[in-house]
């Protein structure tokens, strides 16, 4: 039987040779595959392939899990962030503060709205946006006077929540929206509270490699803001009329034929919703299993590499990645490949050094931590079902490197 593995580059590959997967979806597939097949077949039979009943059911289930008043599903995690910005009215002349060390999607959506990203350095121990440097960047933008500070997008990198209590104080001080990009970390908590406790909205991704992933692309927004939710519904489907719009304009036909806003087309397929319903049923258990795997990695590698992941007191990571640091990272990656152990480097080029983003320089301060971490971080195979024997093999490969 073929072993299907998510490899480091994100491609789904099939092979008749059993190998260590970077992210193993096979065991989960064996566990709940029959339920997923039944759910998918149900969708195929009823035929409501777009915005069918499973979409509404999943949104309700996700709200219950996230403790949010509303959930709006969409086509992918990138759209989820853009929808929030559109819903908040962020646009031309606005500055949106984003970490320099993250995937490009976080910054990518900002120019789409007409606003400009401002890159902020990260904390050395968590890889998340640094509140002290954030405030310095806000002050720099205010001093320059060209842009108006409008929003902060904090990323929960590798699964650990950003320092939302500190970020919330800064957001309130300057009157900024605080947005959570939890594409890698849906389900993470601080003292038992999810990021939405401090944020106007949370965006997440259901890309297959994420802790909660579907069988294709998908994303969602969680929020407690009624007015924002109504606008998100509109922007998700071509800027169609909301209930408020229809009442105000005395419009009685289908909402999608009264286009009040310039929106997008970003709907979660019903089949993906059906998959996510089943995966969400076991998600809390999988988060707990992830803690055990990460703890064992730390015990085996602690003190033997530059650093192992640090999770702050009271914080719970969903461990989208297990990331260590090594002084000779690139040679280590080659060594691991030769040993049959896949790995990934997130992210070798910080956003402010990317060619497509070199024109965004407003408010940019010291980004030395992002630049340094991009040269040392490397992520090892990880899943909630990683067994001890395989984990020992991975660790042995790391420790056998003498470079």
Active-site residue list: 210
CA distance 296 to 308: 11
Q: How far apart are the first and last CA of the chain?
A: 37
Q: 314-317 — which CB contacts under 8 Å span 24+ positions?
A: 314/190, 314/191, 315/160, 315/161, 315/188, 315/189, 315/190, 316/161, 316/188, 316/189, 316/190, 316/287, 316/291, 317/158, 317/159, 317/160, 317/161, 317/185, 317/188, 317/290
CA distance 152 to 133: 13
Exposure on the CB side of residue 265, measured as CA atoms within 13 A:
3
CA distance 300 to 292: 12
CA distance 98 to 360: 12
Q: How many CB atoms lie within 10 A of CB 312?
A: 15
């Amino acid at each position: 039987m073929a072993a299907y593995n998510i490899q480091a580059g994100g491609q789904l590959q099939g092979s008749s040779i059993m190998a260590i997967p970077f992210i193993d979806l096979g065991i989960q597939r064996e566990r709940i595959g029959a339920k997923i097949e039944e759910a998918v077949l149900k969708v195929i039979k009823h035929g409501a392939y777009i915005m069918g009943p499973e979409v509404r059911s999943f949104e309700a289930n996700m709200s219950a899990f996230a403790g949010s008043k509303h959930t709006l599903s969409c086509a992918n995690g990138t759209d989820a962030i853009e929808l929030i910005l559109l819903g908040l009215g962020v646009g031309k002349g606005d500055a949106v503060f984003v970490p320099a060390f993250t995937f490009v999607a976080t910054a990518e959506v900002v120019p789409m709205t007409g606003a400009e990203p401002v890159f902020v350095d990260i904390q050395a121990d968590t890889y998340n946006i640094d509140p002290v440097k954030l405030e310095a960047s806000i002050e720099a933008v205010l001093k320059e006077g060209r842009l108006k500070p409008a929003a902060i997008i904090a990323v929960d990198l590798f699964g650990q929540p950003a320092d939302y209590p500190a970020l919330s104080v800064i957001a309130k001080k300057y009157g900024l929206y605080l947005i959570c990009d939890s594409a890698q970390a849906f389900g993470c908590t601080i003292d038992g509270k999810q990021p939405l406790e401090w944020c106007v909205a949370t965006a997440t991704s259901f890309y297959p490699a994420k802790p909660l992933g579907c069988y294709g692309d998908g994303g969602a927004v969680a929020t407690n803001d009624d007015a924002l939710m109504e606008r998100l519904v509109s922007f998700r489907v071509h800027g169609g009329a909301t209930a408020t719009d229809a009442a105000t304009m005395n419009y009685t036909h289908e909402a999608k034929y009264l286009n009040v806003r310039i929106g997008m087309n970003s709907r979660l397929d019903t089949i993906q919703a059906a998959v996510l319903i089943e995966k969400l049923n076991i998600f809390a258990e999988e988060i707990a299993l992830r803690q055990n795997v990460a703890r064992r990695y730390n015990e085996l590698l602690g003190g033997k590499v530059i650093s192992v992941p640090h999770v702050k007191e009271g914080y719970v990571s969903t461990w989208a990645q297990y990331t260590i640091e090594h002084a000779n990272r690139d040679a280590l990656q080659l060594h691991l490949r030769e040993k049959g152990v896949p790995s990934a480097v997130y992210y070798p080029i910080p956003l402010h050094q990317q060619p497509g983003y070199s024109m965004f320089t407003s408010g940019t301060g010291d980004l030395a931590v992002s630049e340094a971490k991009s040269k040392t971080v490397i992520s090892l195979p990880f899943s909630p079902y990683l067994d001890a024997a395989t984990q020992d093999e991975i660790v042995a490969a790391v420790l056998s490197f003498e470079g």
